[in-house]
Amino acid sequence: MKKNIYKLFAILLVLVSTSCSKDWLEIPEEGLIPQEDFYKTDEDNLQALAAVYDMIQVVNAQDWVSLYHIKTVLSDEARAGGSDDGDQPEYHDLDDLKHTPNNTKISDLWGRLYFGIYRANIVIKNVGEAPNSAVVKAEAYALRAYLYFELVNLFDEVPLVLTELLPSEYFMEASSVEAIYAQIEADLTMAIADLPEKGDQDPWRIAKGFANAMMGKALIFQEKYSEAVPYLEAVKGYALESDFSEVLKKSTEYGTESLFEIGYSTFEGWNWGNYNIWGDGRAQENNIHWILCGPRDTHWSAADGGDIAIEMFAGWGALPPTRKMYDAFDVNDPRRKGTVLDNDELAAPEYNVSLKDADGGYQHEGAGVLRLKYGTWNDEGGLGDGDEPGLNMGTNLRIMRYAEVILLLAEAYVQTGGDAAGEIQKLHNRVGMTDPVGTVDMTVIEKERIAELSYEGHRFYDLIRWGKGSELDREGVTFTEKYSKLPIPQTELDANPNLVQNKYWR
């Protein structure tokens, strides 16, 4: 099913939903479909469900606000970059640990996560008559659990909204972290009961494997390792892709390793003449953040003066990788060359590119390292006549893949006495590292998560849950516990007298 199904179906959910203060829900009465006339057929249910997926797409790719981008800049994987500190300054504030509750990247992210929850709540409440209702509701439960997982890890205690609120119910207090995780577990229990296995769903939809894996992940984040094991062991029907370097590319979209990914489109034909690049509420189906994070065009040239050989194009230089993360890889681990390359390596004939400018310097906050994961690959952008490839980046965002399940299970085994080495061996075998894996402890787990999952949105959460926030020190900036979470946006505190700032920011 085409990726733009999200937007087409989202429009219909808006038309049958009640009003909301957000601009994207303020629509005229003409054309409204009475709610009692909807949710009658499988197609009605599917349209409503796709609107939940649509909002997760928006959460990661619209209006210069991206959950992926925020989690990456908060980590030690990358810097804010760009042309200078004035290029997307609120991302620089996050990078420099100077952000405040007034940061609009944070407030926009908060609103979009809750809008996704709002859409899930609508589905959970209203589906019921059509043959696919049980499966659709199960998906909505799992997606709501995922959204609350992101919220609780970003903000700590947050309001737990489980229904379509009446105006008299708007001023909710925050719920405890324990209550939020309990709800996540309850939602996933509902999802596991009715979701089909992978292969029995449309490829863009989640299946039982994701709900089991998400339950295991939520339990591990609470240090309930023994409870997590059976859920992770129950993830069936998935396998590792054969080529690590392809796991985040179009060739493996919705493939055997994918438990959950969000689709983006290369087919909308955007160019500099028709693309409203600065407009709010853009409806584009591409992911603008991939070109935003591409190698800076002012620091992208052939190393030997000939033609660039690597099949990538330049971008705008956000999130340049750190030397620290490059150095964290084992030099003999093939996964490093599928994740990052440094400027010396890039001079080789098969790449023939330099990250230096005419004066011999790297881009702002750059360390002479190129990120290959989610890179600006030539064939990942629009290829039609007149298309600007960078404005049509369609690489799907992988929210969970099977390699993460293996690593979560290995981590649980480290804590409970299972065969962690056997799980790590699966990842090594994929890249030709066939020597037997020795003893696995948490140091090995961290190195394996770096090698396998770098630049996929996991590192910040990992360091915080492991109590290793000091690794997030930046040049001239010392990490403190305050920055373990984002502040609740000031706009939310001003609007809700019952909501108080989280304990990290009081």
Are the CB atoms for 352 and 310 separated by under 8 Å?
yes
Per-residue pLDDT at 7 exceeds 60: no
Look-up: residue for tokens 């992926």? 68
DSSP string, 107-144: HHHHHHHHHHHHHHHHHHHH--SSTTHHHHHHHHHHHH
Identity of residue 60: N
H-run or E-run covering 260: strand 258-262
Q: What are the backbone dihedrals phi and psi of residue 318, each rounded to the nearest 5 degrees, phi first?
A: -75, 155
Q: pLDDT digit string (tens) for 253-283?
A: 999 999 999 999 888 888 888 887 666 545 6
Are the CB atoms for 133 and 44 separated by under 8 Å?
no
Q: Buried b vs exposed e over 185-219: b needs ≥16 C-beta within 10 Å?
A: bebbebbbebbeebeebeebbbbbbbbbbbbbbbb
pLDDT, mean of residues 90-112: 97
Question: Which residue, among 110, 133, 112, has the nearest Cα to 123 in the 3D structure?
Answer: 133
Q: pLDDT digit string (tens) for 108-123?
A: 999 999 999 999 999 9
Q: How far apart are the first and last CA of the chain?
A: 47
Question: How would you class 75 by CB atoms within 10 Å of its CB: exposed for 0-12, middle for 13-18, buried for 19 or more?
Answer: buried
Residue 3 has a pLDDT of 47
Which ranges in 365-441 belong to alpha helices (H)?
402-416, 420-430
H-run or E-run covering 259: strand 258-262
Q: What is the pTM of this model?
A: 0.93
Which ranges in 246-377 belong to alpha helices (H)?
288-292, 323-328, 334-337, 343-346
pLDDT, mean of residues 307-325: 96
Q: How many residues does the chain have?
A: 506
Identity of residue 200: D
Bin 432: left if φ > 0, else alpha if -120 < ψ < 50, else beta. Answer: left
Q: pLDDT digit string (tens) for 155-179?
A: 999 999 999 998 999 999 999 999 9
Are the CB atoms for 157 and 174 separated by under 8 Å?
yes
Token pair in block for residue 6: 């999200």
Q: Residue 431 and residue 19: Cα distance in Å, rounded?
A: 51
Percent of the chain beyond pLDDT 90? 81
Q: C-alpha distances in angstroms, 383 versus 5, 289, 390, 393?
A: 21, 18, 10, 10
Token pair in block for residue 69: 């981008």
Residue 276 has a pLDDT of 73
Residue 30 has a pLDDT of 52
Q: What are the backbone dihedrals phi and psi of residue 289, each rounded to the nearest 5 degrees, phi first?
A: -70, -20
Residue 270 has a pLDDT of 82
* CA within 13 Å, CB half, 122: 29
Q: Strand (E) positions, 289-412?
A: 340-342, 369-371, 397-401
Q: pLDDT digit string (tens) for 47-94?
A: 999 999 999 999 998 778 999 999 999 999 999 999 999 999 999 999
Residue 64 CB coordination number (10 Å):
20
Question: Which residue, among 76, 407, 57, 53, has the nearest Cα to 217 in the 3D structure?
Answer: 407
Which SS3 state, helix, strand or coil, does residue 264 take? coil
